[in-house]
Amino acid sequence: MDARPMELIDLLQGFIDAEPRLDIWRRYPDITEAEDNYTDTWACAQVSGQFAAFAREHGWEAVVVHADEPEQPLAFDHAWVRLTRDGRSTDVDWTARQFHNLHAAEGHDPNVLALPWPLAWDPVVIAPDDHLIVGRYGTITKEDR
């Protein structure tokens, strides 16, 4: 039996327990104006960098994936984390719910908001450098520090 899924679940739960501010992103977009303003300085790059460091402290290989130039015209630059262990990778996006208005002009797209939080996917199945919701980006860089 493969113990990896439980280890991943434990890692995600450990980060949730260690960082109570994540609740803003769990509830997004149903947050207060003050919380929304806070996400301007604690957004995808900051959350991803913090999670990558946490994951490395707990024995995972972790890089922050910085994605620029999305093909989807309503999308914007974004960041998420690629975890690797035993040759298998999982992408994790704590702030994906900000794309609730990407495919539904009025926002609150139930197809996005019903996705698990944090959003996690196998990059081999989707495409190595694509985002599960946004799709393809023109430029991808990976930061491993």
Q: Which domains are seen in the chain, by residue range?
A: 4-143 (3.10.670)
- 26: helix, strand or coil: helix
Compute the mean pLDDT over every residue in the chain, rounded to the nearest whole number. 92
Q: Which sign does the torsion angle of CA 44, 8, 83, 128 carry?
A: negative
pLDDT tens digit sequence for 22-34: 999 999 999 999 9
pLDDT tens digits for range 56-89 = 999 999 999 999 989 888 888 999 999 999 999 9
The pLDDT score that the predictor gives to residue 4 is 47
Contact 36, 83 (CB under 8 A): no
What pTM did the predictor assign?
Answer: 0.92
Cβ–Cβ under 8 Å, residues 122 and 85: no
